[in-house]
Amino acid sequence: MTFDDALRSFRDRFNLPELKPLDLKLPIDRLRQQFLKIDYSSEPDAPELAEIRPLIIPGAAGPIKARLYVPLGAGVPPGPGILFFHGGGFVLGDLDSHDMLCRRLAEGSRCRVIAVDYRLAPEHRFPSAHDDALAAWAWIQEKAGAVAGIDPARMAVAGDSAGGNLAAYLCQEMVRARGPKPAFQLLLYPLLQFADIRTKKMSPQESGFFISASLFEFFKGHYLADPACSMDRRMSPLFSPIEDLRGLPPAHIIVCGWDPLHDEGLAYAAKLRSLGVHASEREYSTMVHGFLNLTHISSTARLAARDAGVVTGKALGAL
């Protein structure tokens, strides 16, 4: 099966129109406008929430935007919560691109969700996004109870793709710094290493629909001023030393069959389990990287987003 055949098969399965990959020759602002601008108004089961509220929180270099999602079943505050980092290769994505995913995580988990609009490259290169993730976590520890009704001791971190990288890094950094650790980590087809991109042979399914080797290189070149930083443990938490992994919070990792990040997600789960960290995994063998943003066309994506929330809610004692 060629890549074109694989792409056509996926498109036909969901009765999609002709879909084209991102045009990497466009200016960054145009790419951001093009990235995941989806109309979710037609979703038949979009969850109704008690509150959605904009926030401004301290970033590492100044204020950044955030958004609070409060589900109907959240209960009396302070309660458990989820700190969410969106994907997009550290270059694309924002609060709106992952709005519906956050709504469904909140509804499924019965936990308050705070999504963070961390700084993006190339305007802000490595380690800007990672520094903002740490700043958001520090704010959670100090202010989340009063501002968002969240108990910081019952706080999970979550993220998809590059956001999964930030969530995994944050957990490891708290182990290294002996700081307050998240109670749980939800990693959605996470980007766990930025070192080996072009060398491995990929099948048509693995070679990407929403992601590809060329897109990896694009993201890497924009976020990393120095290519040698690809092996930095902040960028490649999969390769962190054992002492950074022991004592990590429990994890749930979602991987997709049509995704070049498939193997590293499973490898990370196995590595954590070998060190005594509870790590569960869920594979969606016929889904593509980024499928949780396809809730407007896929009932599987809608159920998967809610199920990920349920797993997290149970881990935090909300369900």
SS3 111: coil
Residues 6+ away with beta carbon under 8 Å from 146: none
Q: What is the DSSP string of 222-278?
A: HH-SSGGGGGSTTT-GGG--HHHHTTPPPEEEEEEEE-TTHHHHHHHHHHHHHTT--
Number of Cβ atoms within 10 Å of the Cβ of 7: 21
SS3 40: coil
- 259 is annotated as an active-site residue: yes
| 77 φ/ψ angles, rounded to the nearest 5 degrees | -75, 160
Quote the CA–CA distance of 252 and 114 in Å, as a whole number: 19
The two tokens of residue 233 are 């443990």
Select from 157, 140, 131, 118 the least CA-distant residue to 232.
Answer: 131
- 296 is annotated as an active-site residue: no
Quote the CA–CA distance of 150 and 111 in Å, as a whole number: 9
Q: Is the peptide bond before 152 cis (omega within 30 degrees of 0)?
A: no
- 29 is annotated as an active-site residue: no
| 170 φ/ψ angles, rounded to the nearest 5 degrees | -60, -45
Q: Which residue among 94, 97, 259, 298 is the active-site one? A: 259
Going by their DSSP bridges, the two strands 251-258 and 184-188 should be labelled as: parallel
Q: Which residue among 161, 207, 212, 298 is the active-site one? A: 161
Q: Which residue among 86, 94, 289, 298 is the active-site one? A: 289
Residues classed as catalytic: 161, 259, 289
